[in-house]
Amino acid sequence: MNKTPPPTEKLQKVLARAGLGSRRTIETWIKEGKIKVNRELATLGDRVSIYDDIWVEGRKVQLARLVKPQRKVICYNKRLGELCTRSDPEGRPTVFDHLPELAQGRWLNIGRLDINTTGLLLLTNDGELANRLTHPSYQIEREYLVRVRGEMTKEIVQKLRKGVELEDGMAKFEDIIPINKEAEVLQEGESEPLNLWYRVILTEGRQREVRRLFESQGLLVSRLKRIRFGHAELPRFLREGQFEDLDKVSLNALLQSVKISPAKEPKESIAEIMATKKEAEKKARKPAKRPIRREVRSRRRKK
């Protein structure tokens, strides 16, 4: 009974996932003859499986780096003053200071929050998922709690819902919802409320977009907290600076929203894959038996 052939992927995709460089960089290496597959020079368009040996500039890529890791997504409650970067020249704290270590791959932001914004930050080890969830074409909603200082009139609300021209293009809120009774929008000329809370929803993640939208109307954002990203909500009891795995229902809903199928558990462990490869290599090295021709044997008997 023949085994089903192992699934293959493009060589540059596999090596990019292993963290060896971007796909474009790896494509350049392939053209320059720096990559071999099973001791032969790779070419653009090559597809590989986990059973292939891959060499980059004379060094063999370890199997553990080639095996596609199990998809992980976590919710992190970002604190005020933290950066969404891996390191900071000024030594300021980053969200990566508090994340669990991964056996494979690395954590990637699903969208960023600026230093003065708190709340929900999703992180994953799946680059494709991170790219799709932040791509404008998928229109993934982001929801924030925002404390606004200034006079919020009906005219301003209409403008922010319809769209405002910013320096990098048109931007708008899908909705603006007052949180407290005092935050109901005012008629022109009424008294000016201060520090009132609203919920705002938008489908983009441009830099400081929420703040810039309000600033375009002469309003100041004094507090900003993200509470939802797509189908994922900030867990109610998750304290600032803490993380937890995204629940399965929310994860599957996120995957569905960007047309990604839920990952299946690998059928074989790394140890089993290694054993299979060693067995195949052993068979390949074993010399074939040379048959003795009958006529030669018969001549020897006559002598």
Contact 141/133 with Cβ under 8 angstroms? no
Catalytic site includes residue 114: yes
C-alpha span between 61 and 249 (Å, rounded): 35
Q: How many CB atoms are closer than 10 A to CB 22? A: 11
Q: Which run of H or of E encompasses 165?
A: strand 164-166
Is the CA virtual torsion 35, 38, 39, 41 positive or negative?
Answer: negative
Tokens 């922010």 belong to residue? 160
Residue from 93, 94, 98, 127 nearest 110 by CA: 127
Cα 35 from Cα 37, distance rounded (Å): 7
Which of 114, 126, 168, 175 is the catalytic position? Answer: 114
SS3 per residue for 80-137 = CCCECCCCCCCCCCEHHHHCCCCCCCCCEEECCCCCCCEEEEEEECCHHHHHHHHCHH
- Nearest residue to 252 via CA among 234, 233, 231, 267: 231
Query: At 31, which amino acid appears?
Result: K
Cα distance between residue 243 and residue 99, in whole Å: 7
Phi, psi values for residue 205, rounded to 5°: -135, 40
Pair 226, 119: CB distance under 8 Å: yes
Which residues carry out catalysis? Answer: 114
